Each structure stands twice: as C-alpha cells, then as structure tokens.
A and B are shown apart, each in its own frame.
Chain A
Amino acid sequence: MSRESQIGVAIVLLLLSGLLLRAALADQPWGVVTVLPVENDPAEAVREVSPETPGVQVSVARTTGLWLAAFFTLACYSYLYKDNPAYKLTESIIVGVSAGYWLTASFWDVIVGKALARLMPEQMRAWALPNLDPADPDFLTLVPLTLGALLFARLIPGGAWLARWPLALIVGTTAGLKLVLYLDGDFVSQIRNTILPLVVFNDNAFDLDGSARNILLVTSVLCCLTYFYFSVEHRGAVGRVSRCGIWVLMITFGSSFAFTVMGRITLLTMRLEFLFRDWLGLLPPNVS
C-alpha cells in the first residue's frame, strides 16, 4: 500500500472514530429524522420536528436518506484527497439521477400537464389532472407532439433529416426572439445607459463626485469597446486607448473573481452546516 493510500485509510478511520465518539458522548438523539403525524391539516401527513418534541416517531425512510446524503457529501469531498471509487460512484449516480429527474419533470409538467391536457382534457381530468377545467380538445397540439416525436428519428439510421424539423422550430424561435430582445436590452438600452451628463449639477451646485464617476464610466466603456474593435489595428492612439480598455477589463475580472469566491464558500458553509447540524446534531437547529 502506498503512503498516499495509507493516509487515505487513516482519514477514513479517523472519521469513523469521530462517529463512534459522537455516538458514545451523545446525550440527545442524533442522525435521525423524527416526524410528527399532522392532524387537522390535510396538506401534509407528517411534519419533520426536533427529536425532543413529545410524541415523535423516527422516520426510517428519511433517516436512511439522511445517512445516505452524509455519505454522498463525504464521498464528494474524498475527491479532494484523491480520485477514488466512492467519488466515481457518486458521480455516476448523479448523472443518472439528474437525467431521470429531468425526464420525469418533462413528462409530468409538459407532456401531460401541457400537451395532453390540451389534446384530451377529459381523459386527463379522469386520470391525473382532476382539477382541470372542462375544455374542448385542441387538436393543434398534435403539431408539436408530432414534431417532438420526429426528434427520435435521430436514433434511426437514415432518419436524422426528419429531426431537423423540430430543431428548426427551436432554433428559429430562439434566433428570432434573441435578435430583437438582445438588441433592445443589451445593445440599445446599454448605450442609452451610457449616455450620461459629464458635468453633473445637484441643486444648482457642481457635483464633482458625480461628474468624475460619469466621466470614468463613459471613458471606461469607450476604452473597452475600442479593445473589442478588431477592424482597426491596435497601434498608436487606438492602441493606447485599447490598453486602457484592458485595464478596465482586468478590474472587471478581478471583481468577478472575488464574487465567485464568495459563492463557492457559501456552498461549502451550507454543506458543513448539513454535516454538523442535520446529521451529527452538533449545532442547534434554526430558530424558526
């Protein structure tokens, strides 16, 4: 066994010892999800409550899930030490589960909830959508359903050309909408946002701060745009302006980096809260 593997085994043993210690020292139940049957509220059969609540029951399904979630969390983090079968297993599971989830959502929310609900409302009312309003069938829904079915022609040898029809609908709609809306929102509106007074007056008094900000903003945008303008060689005055554009972009990327760091750390915080509060019960539950 290599030294690296030995350390890996030592870490796993350390974690297991920690768990045993937690179990030995625990004066309160932990690592369990307790529920309370809810009466007078038809919206939910049981509600998750803290183990100290009188009359609680341990939910086997949710407790198993809690331990499984903890396992998956630790398996993901094990990748930080080195790639290993536990991580690969988790990775394979999430690929399959995600695809299955998206398929399920597409089926129930769109194919049934939207297409079939329009095509055969009465049948859907009698089967899965009893709260649907009575309506006449909309046979035009057969068009997208047929186009959707044509997508599967890709899987048939020699049938790929049929799949271009639904693709045409998707690409055409997206291209048409984006052409106008991007020009409106990200081109015209942004140019309009940049047309600012370079000399600002507030209550008839010269506002140095506001003027300086506007001048900086306008010149920065122009410098960046010059940098992105590749039809002219970046030499001489253009070169100097575009260099200023690079500086502005560097500041932009620096701030983006800092913001990205923030997001990732928050995610780590939440996972640690899960392990130490929800699983190990070492942190007090949230107030609400």
Chain B
Amino acid sequence: MTTLTAILASLQRLDRRWIFLAMLIAVLIPVLTRVTYPETPTAMTSAVFNKIESLPSGSRVLLPLDYDPGSEAELGPMAKAVIRHCALKRHKMYFLTLWPTGLPLLERNLRQIVEGEFKEVGLKYGVDYVNLGYVPGEAVAVKLLATDFRKARGQDNTGTSLDRLPMMQQVRSAQDMDLIMAISAGYPGVKEWVLFAAIPNRIPLGMGVTGVTAPQMYPYYPNQVVGLITAIKGAAEYETALAAAYPDEMSRLDASGIQRMGPQLWAHRLMIVLIVIGNILQLTRGRGGRK
C-alpha cells in the first residue's frame, strides 16, 4: 500500500517532460517498426470514393489543395490518394491552391504522381491536367472562381493564358466542373468552397480535411457535400478503398496514410492511459482531501 501511495505521489509530481518522452517513444517505435493495421472505409470516405469512381472517364474534377507544410502530414497522403484515383479514372484534373505556401506542395504532387507514377499513362499537360497555381484572394477568390476562372486567374502556373490550354477552352468557371474535391487545412479552404462556391451554384463538392477541421464540417454532410475524408484515418481508408478497386496499380505505390495509422494507434493508446491515470490521481487526491 505504501508503495502504491509512493507511486501515486510521484505521479502527482511528474515532470511533464516524462510525458513528452512517453509520447515520443509511442510514436517513434511504430515509425521504426513500420507496423500497419487494417482499415475499413467508413460511409463518408466511401461516399467520396464512390463519387469519383462513378464519374465517367474524362469528367472535370477541380482539385484545390489548400494546405501548407503544417498539415501536409495529414493531407498529403489524402491528396495523393485522390489524385491517383482521378488519374486512374482518366478524369481531367484542374489543380489550384488558395495558399501561397501550398504551391510547392501542389507542384511536388504533380511531379511525383501525375508526371512520375503515371508517366507511362502519358497524361498531357493542358489536356489531361492543368496547374492553375496559387489563386490569391482567399474567400473572394473562391467566389470569383465560381463565377469566372479567368477573372480570378488569367494564366496557369507557367504564365500561359488559360485560353491557350485545350482543357480550359470549354471551362468558364467552377460551375463547369463535375466535382470539386477540396483538400484543405483551414482558412481559406473547404468552408469557403462550401459557402462561396458549392451551395450558391449547386456544384458537387467532396472534402478532405484535417482532424482539427473535420468535426466542424459534419453538418454539411450529406446535403451540401457528397462526402468527407477526415484526417489521416480518412486518408488510410481512401487508400484501402483504392487498393481494393485497383489492386494491380496500387500494389507498386506507397500508402503513407495506412503507414501513419500505426503510430496513431499507439499514441491514442498512450493518450487513453494518460487520461485514465490522470483521473485515478484526481480520485485518490479527492479521497485524501476528504480524509
């Protein structure tokens, strides 16, 4: 009993740096062992997947990748999975970002996926995909993109006028898209795409969001958005769905969402243990106080 009391007393005084160390270990070991766990796509993730899957080949998909390095860990795998899916379905992909700090990440995705992994497919710039680059103006830019692309951004990322690109010739605004698949970390992002583009113009919108933003987006589902990919778990679910639908193509590609769910599991376990211990301490302290 004395030992238990001593342990509890030392836990009461525990320096927070031990908790930091515990968190580091909980995440580091699964990162090093590369342990993975099975994922089952939820209804919301499947809704996005099914929407992209059900669009006829050659459909126009607007892909705003509105995030920066601060949320790349969560949204990068998600963006990769969605781009791969669009490329596999041969949809026409219209890339842009509302975040200037998101532009290099967008370009990296294009280089690695569209021009790298799918090089043999021969997707042509300006015909199968276009990079509209950074569109400044935040929420107002979304409003303008929904009414007229050329007024929001007259050129693509290379400075070429949009009218010179074959895939832009029939496109006037976001209203000409078959789907907007917004992947975003905050402001400006999915909220603006819902309020300033999707709802007023009734454009189908899919969302990929961070854990912080996800709970705030649930009220829009299913009436205002077709589906929601939430945080790294959503990315892992999307990768699972994609691997099930395209086993041959996906077997040679990485699945960083699924990979990052390993550390997630162990960190969640640690969090639960910490909450439970913290409450046991609270309980024992309460009893001690009453005595």
Q: Which residues of A contact B133 (CB under 8 A)?
A: 109
Contact of B159 among A101, A132, A262 (CB under 8 A): A132
Q: Which residues of A contact B216 (CB under 8 A)?
A: 256
Interface flags, A128-144, vs B, CB<8A=1, else 0: 11111100000000000
Q: Which residues of A contact B112 (CB under 8 A)?
A: 288
Query: Are A255 and B27 within 8 A (Cβ)?
Result: no
Total count of chain B residues near the partner, CB < 8 A? 66
Query: Are B232 and A133 within 8 A (Cβ)?
Result: no
Query: Are A266 and B100 within 8 A (Cβ)?
Result: no
Query: Given A129-B159, A261-B271, are A255 and B219 also a contact pair (CB < 8 Å)?
Result: no
Query: Are A263 and B211 within 8 A (Cβ)?
Result: yes
Q: Which residues of B contact A27 (CB under 8 A)?
A: none
Contact of B196 among A181, A252, A269, A287 (CB under 8 A): A181
Query: Are B32 and A105 within 8 A (Cβ)?
Result: no
Q: Which residues of B contact A128 (CB under 8 A)?
A: 159
B51 proximal to A (CB < 8 A): no
Query: Are B74 and A263 within 8 A (Cβ)?
Result: yes
Query: Are A268 and B101 within 8 A (Cβ)?
Result: no
Interface flags, B215-248, vs A, CB<8A=1, else 0: 1100100011000001111000000000000000
How many angstroms from the CA of A128 to the CA of B23 in the assembled complex?
49
Query: Are A192 and B223 within 8 A (Cβ)?
Result: yes
A58 proximal to B (CB < 8 A): no
A191 CB to nearest B CB, Å: 11
- B window 94-153: CB within 8 A of A: 100-101, 103, 111-112, 115-117, 133-134, 136, 139-140, 143, 153
Chain A, interface size category, equals 35 or more
Query: Are A268 and B27 within 8 A (Cβ)?
Result: yes
How many angstroms from the CA of A105 to the CA of B163 in the assembled complex?
24
- A window 240-288: CB within 8 A of B: 252, 255-256, 259-273, 276, 282-284, 286-288
Q: Which residues of A contact B34 (CB under 8 A)?
A: 283-284
Q: What are 21 contact pairs spanning A and B, CB under 8 A?
A: A43-B115, A105-B100, A105-B136, A109-B100, A131-B161, A133-B164, A177-B140, A185-B194, A259-B211, A259-B230, A261-B267, A261-B271, A262-B231, A262-B233, A263-B212, A263-B231, A266-B73, A266-B260, A267-B71, A268-B23, A270-B76
A109-B133, A261-B267 known; 18 new pairs, CB 8 Å cut-off, are A44-B111, A129-B155, A133-B164, A186-B195, A252-B215, A256-B212, A262-B268, A263-B232, A264-B211, A265-B263, A266-B232, A268-B24, A269-B73, A269-B263, A284-B34, A286-B256, A288-B252, A288-B254
8 tightest A-B contacts by CB?
A: A263-B211, A270-B73, A105-B100, A133-B161, A131-B160, A185-B195, A286-B254, A259-B211
